Chains A and B, each alone.
Chain A
Amino acid sequence: MTIAPAGSPDGPAGAPGGLRPPGSRPRDEDRRTRKPLPLWDRIKFLLLLTLLWFVLVWSSMANDPILPFADAARIELRSGLWVIILAGLELLRQAHFLISEHWAGYHQFWVRHVFGGFERLTRRRLSDWTRFRLWRLFTWVFWIAVLALIVGGITHSNPVTALLSAPAYIWRALPFVLQIMAGVFFVIIQFGALFWFLSRGGVDVYFPDDIKTRFSDVWGQDHVLERVKENILFLEDPELVESHGGYVPGGILLWGPPGTGKTLMAEAAARPAARTCSSTPARSSTCSWAWASSRSSRFSASCAGWPCATAA
């Protein structure tokens, strides 16, 4: 039987012997390489820039009825060069990420020496709030600049002029937008709402890394916490427990007034499983093993390979 290391089952990887709870993954901060990106994160900006470029091509064709697609594309490869440059930079960034995911030395160089140095410098000079505000300002300026370039590209005018005249364009387009919105609200939304109400009680999938809560995050209710941990140990190998005459509980019901930590505890119980979990509204859950309940039930999770780790 695999037994979790001494101390908390979700304790740090630096726990005695450097062991981790069975089946768990290394913590993000202990990784030597970059955490692999999901496919969507790899391609989303490239897709966005591709779409943007096609919008510019479409705009050129819409402004000139004799302009064929091939020539519009060629023209936009020149006049819309900034889109191509941004796409190139994004491609470079993704290549950098891909190398970082495979090569620990390369990743550590960037994390410790390049960004680490910048991080330490800004931490020394600026408070966290100032850093946050500066980053937020940078993000706003960046997206406004991108918007100006897009509007400038579509209207074939200077980006600054285009940005200043954007309110006029919006005002002019407002009647059409309102018509579309009316269509959306009266035709589509009612069907969407109908299907949403009918489909309530659906299942959300949580991947192991999505759950950050640990038992160390749960303060108070120590006696309940110990019982939950104990049951998790039973569930490591229920057949073995039962073959020795033991009894593995089919579930736990956490009951109590709101705000007493039921959900937190259930999330923490799901964490050491380190398996893909599915979450259902507690009302519709058929989960058998742990169950937290209050008048406002919120969360329940069943984990693949485990009977259930649940909160509501």
Chain B
Amino acid sequence: MTRVRIPGRPVIAGLALALALVLAGCAAPQYTYVADTTAHAYFKVPRVWTKISTAALDKVTGAGTPGGAWTVGYDASRPASPNHVLSLVPARPFVYAAVGQVTRAAANTLSYNLLRDSFLPVTATARQTATQNGFPLTGFRLLGSSMLELAQGIHGIRETYDYTYKGGRVVTFDQIALTNADDTEVYVLLVHCLSACYSRHQAQINTVLKSFTVRSP
């Protein structure tokens, strides 16, 4: 009778391990990993948040077209809407990310204050100018401000502030704006929602903002 070699324990253990890995992997990843591979900018958002396309965002913000800027949004609201980026007040966190190139001439004038004002007016001068030009949001309140020095000469700011929309609804904005060592690229990541929503989702928002990583190309 022919003797058949039965696979030994290591093989069975290996197969069991592979099966366990496959089963464990059946669970979907917790986060969606977002990347602009050209500009080497990365961040993550909870998997259940909905992606807002660049085209829809650009339509609302009017950004993105000059210099081929990369923009993307993620909305935790249901239904998701690109209007949550600015005009509508989101009851759940909304993430807006943009990467754009800065011209050599503009790079010479790029400062931390310009980074602070990259999305909404934050510095006193910018707010004053904005008010004179009919900026609709009022009740600015700075909640936190810090400067960031990262690897490879990447540097910038993190600003957390409130603005009051019409109707008295207070919205909290948490914003990171970075630039590379030679100030030729600007990377912005902003999360905002109603003040109460911000307090409720602060841990989640922190995770998103802390994951923001930029590598110098």
Contacts and interface: CB of A to CB of B under 8 A. Distances in A.
Interface in A258-292: none
A31 interface: yes
B37 interface: yes
A84 B25 CA distance: 12
Contacts of B7: 39, 42
A71 B215 contact: no
A67 interface: yes
B91 to A, nearest CB: 28
A67 B33 contact: yes
B4 A66 contact: no
Given A31-B2, A42-B7, A50-B18, A66 B29 contact: no
Contact of B2 (A33, A42, A73, A84): A33
A65 B213 contact: yes
B42 to A, nearest CB: 5
Contacts of A31: 2
Contact of B5 (A33, A39, A66, A77): A39
A63 interface: yes
B33 A73 contact: no
Interface string A9-50: 000000000000000000000010100100100110010001
Given A43-B11, A74-B25, A66 B213 contact: yes
Contacts of B29: 70-71, 74-75
A70 B27 CA distance: 10
Nearest to B42: A66
B28 A73 contact: no
Interface string B10-42: 010010001001100111111101010100001
A65 B18 CA distance: 25
A131 interface: no
Contact of B26 (A39, A67, A77): A77
Interface residues of B, number: 27
A75 B31 CA distance: 10
A135 to B, nearest CB: 29
A76 to B, nearest CB: 8
A74 B5 CA distance: 35
B94 interface: no
B44 interface: yes
A43 B14 CA distance: 10
Given A39-B5, A74-B28, A102-B4, A66 B33 contact: yes
Given A36-B2, A71-B33, A101-B4, A66 B26 contact: no
Contacts of A73: 21, 25
B49 interface: no
Nearest to A49: B18
A195 to B, nearest CB: 29
Contacts of A101: 2, 4
A208 to B, nearest CB: 13
Contacts of B215: 65
B30 A71 contact: yes
B42 A65 contact: yes
Contacts of B163: none
A46 B14 CA distance: 11
Interface string A71-91: 101110100000010000000
Contacts of B43: 66
A288 B141 CA distance: 99
A71 B45 CA distance: 13
A64 interface: yes
A173 B30 CA distance: 35
Given A36-B2, A64-B35, A77 B22 contact: yes
B211 interface: yes
B33 A64 contact: yes
A60 to B, nearest CB: 9
A67 B44 CA distance: 9
Interface in B49-81: none
Interface of B: 2-5, 7-8, 11, 14, 18, 21-22, 25-31, 33, 35, 37, 42-44, 211, 213, 215
17 contacts: A31-B2, A33-B2, A36-B2, A36-B4, A36-B5, A39-B11, A43-B14, A64-B35, A65-B215, A66-B33, A66-B44, A73-B25, A74-B29, A75-B33, A77-B22, A84-B22, A102-B4
Which 9 pairs from chain A and chain B are nearest by CB?
A71-B29, A77-B25, A74-B29, A36-B4, A74-B25, A66-B42, A101-B4, A66-B213, A67-B33
